[in-house]
Structure 1
């Protein structure tokens, strides 16, 4: 039995009727940008995230960059980010002219270490980005308090955490604003690129919306009050996301069931990343640690089992950011051990059992 890393065909098969209807509706009314589905999705996703405002944008990277621009981060500023994250987090900081300041991660969850983040703060620091990696929230209470103590903006990078909670708080509801990605492989994924900013600050939401729409005035579309950009969630993607949003909690529950089976059936030497006390993760990825990753990966490939590594090179060691780098031992060690196993709401018990069977034979 071959097991794909992520089978988007199977995920979308269950939604075929809803997706066909979304396509037909948008084609029929013809409002491909700024159509009624965009506003409806923004309202429903804001409510889902337990915030008051949502602005749909072109992608998750744009969402981060637009938040930084909207709060005034720019040249001369530093932004604290975890080393264990996708490059987009640091790219957004560089795109506004600021400097990323990398911090280490916790050894059990591999999420931003609040103590390391505190050590990275100096007089240039303007913001702190907490990345909710693998579907689990960073320690938002400690990070939020740390940011408040130093007068910093606290931003959530929630690209991998649609619907996750920590101590009852939903991803997207903790910081000044949160960035979401709707890349097709996300828990809530579009049929192309898409993203959103959620916040409880109406002025910040208005600023993001203006910047994302060429800096236009809300009163006169022919007046460009600031230099903005083009970053809009299109109507078709909004319609697709609306169809999927109603099933997101159910799909996240399926992911939790898949992860529970992994934890029960994996060999002892294959250790899943820990779940923090009070966390309700949504398992965007099923990440384990092994001291013999190369051999294990070769065994999985030979058995036609999909796998990935998120991420093999920490951001502070990437050529694009090496000028900002320093030694961050926890992230560096984890980068050589982490392995992502197949994860999807459509993954069957038999497929999980097959993955675990192959893993048990990888070191015999």
Structure 2
């Protein structure tokens, strides 16, 4: 997979057809230019998604904001000032590209003040050198190194809220020893938010039942969602799936993430003080490695789903596997199965979907006039005997 570089490009003519060859030339080298016509529009986009962009490319003349009528060099000065203000959050390499001769052919006070070179967009050699320098400067940035080292995952993460990218970049910085400070509650909450988005995506293509993502009108029930995708009965929603979507290791990872990151299964808000096991763990092991391990498990879950969802994207087929079931007043599930055997002593047998054999008392066989091949509805007691039997 070739490296990609996301460039914030501010140029009042960024969508001019004359610049299409430049855009295509950049894309051939993995440089993706996202253009904005004004300083305000461009930097609003940058601050809203700061870890998406790797480099900033500035025209020498562009609009201050979307209502400006004439491009002017004040926009360049404002942009450079803002880039410097953003350094505590992220230090961006930035370059100036222009076709204006009073920037490319003569000394310009703004460029001179910041010791900047202005590349000439009309000079093919200048453009070639610019693209080379963009990649070289970008490759020195730790955030981009992280994205390139884990490119498959960050490509998948593009489908999730932008905050997910920020979360994982922070976690990878910790893994690299750049920032070992961590806050369980903050990052555990972020992992659960990403997991919630994952379950919503599963619901969008019918892999996950609607009931699992409509708790109280909007919340996702994380535990019930995990059970459903694991091919198990939900505990409270009375739905299941006849197909097991989660491979066992993926199911185990999801269960571990849900349990460890919070005691409440139906919310993304985390209160670590309510998780007794985590509190006991922290008293003896106060490291970030628990957080890192959960994050790495979640990476595998998202990568698995990206491929699985593409192969299993037919909503009608997926929803055809949804099943609902009833429970009695004590919370015991009603099963439906066919009688496969009646012994000489008039005891019957049914076999559940999981292969478990259930006995039918001979008195129930007689009372309900049951015969071989009949379908019955029943609950099961602890001794694996059918109760509350009705003939279907």
Q: Which has more radius of gyration? A: 2
TM superposition score normalised by structure 2: 0.20
